[in-house]
Amino acid sequence: MDEGNLCVVGSLNDVNVLHEREVELMRSNRALEELAVIATHEMREPLRMIELYLALLVDRSKGKLDVETQELMQTVVKSSRRMKVFIDNLLNFSRADRFRENFELVDGVRILEETLSLLKPMLDGNRVRMIRDPLPKFIGSRSLLVQLFANLIQNAIKFRGKVPLEIKISAERTTKEWVFSVQDNGIGIPREHFDDIFVMFRRLHAHSEYSGSGIGLAFCKKIVDHHRGRIWVESEVGKGSTFFFSIPDPQ
Ligand code: ADP
C-alpha cells in the first residue's frame, strides 16, 4: 500500500471516529435533557406542597408573630417563589427539543400579537411604548417563537432605564435569512458580556437588584439554534440594547 492510500484510510477512520463521537454526544445530551425534565417535574410537586403549607402558616400566624419572625417567613415565601420560577424555566428549557417537529408556516405579526396579549398585564403596568414594524411570514415553531419574543420583551421591561420605556420590534431581509430585532432604551449591557449573557445561569446583577434565573437568554439561544439561526446583542451602557436573531429563509 502506498502513502497516498494510507492517508485516505487514515482520514476515513478519523471521519468514522468523529461520527461515532457525535452520535454518542447527541445520545448523552438527550439523556441529560430527559433527566432534567424528570428531575424538574418531580421537584414541582413537593414545592407545591411547601407553598401550600407556607401560605397556611402565614395565614394562621397573622398578628401572632413578632416582626423578626414575620420577616423570616417572608424570606422563605420569596425563596419558594424564586424556586418555582426557576423550575418552570428549566422545565421549559428542557422541553424545547420536543417542539422540533412542529415547524410550520408562521406569521410574524400574529406571533407578536400572541406574545403581547400574554404580556398585557406587564406591558400595561409598566406603561411601555411599543413600536412595531411589519413582520414577515416564515417557517418556524409558533410556540417556541412566542416564548422567544416573550423572553426578550420581558427582559427589556425588567432592565428598563430611567426614561420612559420604548421597545421597537423589527425585521429585515438579507439574501438568505430574516433578521429580527428587539430594541430597548434600558440600562444596556457592557461589551465584555455580549457573549456570556447567552450562557445558562449567567447573570450580571444580584437578586436583590433584579430577580431572575439566568435561563431566559440561554433558552432564547436554544430556540434560535433549533431554527438554525443566530442570536446576538448590540448595546451601549445607559442607552439601551438591541437583541438580534436570524431565521434562515431560503426563498
Ligand atoms: P435573567 O433575566 O433571568 O437574569 P437572562 O438569561 O434573561 O436571565 O439574562 C441574562 C442577563 O443578561 C441578565 O441578568 C441581564 O444582566 C442581561 N440582560 C438581558 N436582557 C437585557 C436587557 N434588555 N437589557 C439589559 N441587560 C439585559
For the domain that residue 61 is a member of, what is the CATH number? Answer: 1.10.287
Angle at 48 between CA 150 and CA 122, to 5 degrees: 25
Per-residue pLDDT at 98: 63
| Interval between CA 159 and ligand 1 midpoint (Å) | 7
89 lines ligand 1 (CB under 6 A): no
156 lines ligand 1 (CB under 6 A): yes
Angle at 159 between CA 153 and CA 162, to 5 degrees: 120
From 47, 68, 97, the end of a domain falls on 97
Q: Are residues 131 and 218 in the same domain?
A: yes
Q: Are residues 140 and 109 in the same domain?
A: yes
Q: Are residues 38 and 117 in the same domain?
A: no
Q: Are residues 112 and 93 in the same domain?
A: no
Q: Are residues 56 and 165 in the same domain?
A: no
Q: What is the pLDDT along the chain (251 residues), one digit of tens a residue?
A: 444 445 555 577 777 878 888 788 777 777 777 777 777 777 888 888 898 898 898 888 888 888 888 888 888 888 888 788 878 877 777 776 665 557 899 999 999 999 999 898 888 888 899 999 999 999 999 888 999 999 999 999 999 999 999 999 999 999 899 999 999 999 999 999 999 999 888 888 877 788 877 889 999 999 999 899 999 999 999 999 999 999 998 77
Show the domain range for 82: 3-97
Q: Are residues 111 and 209 in the same domain?
A: yes
Per-residue pLDDT at 1: 44
Per-residue pLDDT at 9: 55
Per-residue pLDDT at 247: 96
At 126, list the grid cell: 409598566
From 97, 132, 164, the end of a domain falls on 97
Per-residue pLDDT at 3: 45
Q: Are residues 219 and 107 in the same domain?
A: yes
From 55, 77, 97, the end of a domain falls on 97
Q: Are residues 75 and 116 in the same domain?
A: no
- pLDDT tens-place string over residues 103-137: 899 999 999 999 999 898 888 888 899 999 999 99
Atom of ligand 1 nearest to the CA of 182: 23
Per-residue pLDDT at 82: 79
Q: Are residues 138 and 168 in the same domain?
A: yes
222 lines ligand 1 (CB under 6 A): no
Per-residue pLDDT at 106: 94
